[in-house]
Every structure is written in structure tokens, then in C-alpha cells.
Amino acid sequence: RVHDYNHWFHNRGKYDEFGQFVVSSANKYRREHQLIEVPLSNADSVREYMYSTIVLDSNDKFIIFGTGGFGRYLYNHIRTSYEVIGFTNSQATQEGIFHNLPLFSLEQLLAKDEGWFKVIIASEMIGEIQFLLLSKGFHHNCIITPQF
């Protein structure tokens, strides 16, 4: 599935429906594990919630996986406090530019010395992307995901 070009997500009704699904799924899991429920009132809060669950270390360098809405949102919120060195997505086949930073292919990132950067998944397709990164050879310690 090509998540970077899912135009259905730009449809407001589908966006709200997906957001409510994410919120209800997160809260179901949190109730089952005696955790505090996500205080979200609408689907627009999904990005804010996902961003708030990401734990970053200011000593690390980051590649953002995602060039859609959440990738842009995340970049705009962390760029002044953390070192974002580029972007990637599953469609990048050669190096390019996105938000004035390098857009790397996954193969280019794998060719670099492992461990000097971490990949933040900035997409609603967390499981799919995490599986893709692991199957390509990225180490799980170098992948940062939003937590539900």
C-alpha cells in the first residue's frame, strides 16, 4: 500500500472517521492496561497526541519518515529543538530535497553508518512503516514511533 499518496486522507469526512478510530483504539488499549485515556475530543487532535508521545533525545540526529501532513507537522514542531538532518519515505528512489533538507531513499540511509541517526515515523501507518524499515535492515533501536 502506498501511504504517501493516500488522497482519501485529504477528505475531511474520512479524516474525521480515521481520527475517531485511532482515538477509540488507543483508549480501548489504555483501558485494558489501566492507563490514562487519551483526552482527545476530535480527530484534529490525533497529530498533536501522536507528537506528544514521541520521546526524543537532544543528542541524536533525526530523519523523519513521512512527507505528508504529520511529517510536516512534526518537522515544524521539532526543528528548533532537535537536529533534523533529512526526510525519507517509501517512494523516494533517489536523493532529493524536501523542506530544504535532503530527501533520502531507504537504500541511501542503509548505506550510511548505522547508529548515527534515528528515524522518526511521522505517519498514521506506523505498523506498516515499522515493518518496512525492519525488513529493509534498519535496527529497531534506530526507529522511533508514536506510542499509544
Tens digit of pLDDT for each residue in 60-80? Answer: 999 999 998 888 889 998 999
Residue 46's SS3 state is helix
pTM (predicted TM-score): 0.72
Query: What pLDDT digit, counting tens, does each position of 6-26 carry?
Result: 444 455 566 566 667 777 777
* Contact between residue 30 and residue 36 where contact means Cβ atoms under 8 Å apart: yes
Cell of residue 119, nine digits: 528515524
Regions of the chain short of the pLDDT cut 50: 1-9, 43-44
CA dist 1 and 8 (Å) reads 13
Other CB atoms within 10 A of residue 63 CB: 22
Q: Are strands 96-98 and 101-104 parallel, antiparallel or unpaired?
A: antiparallel
CA dist 112 and 127 (Å) reads 24
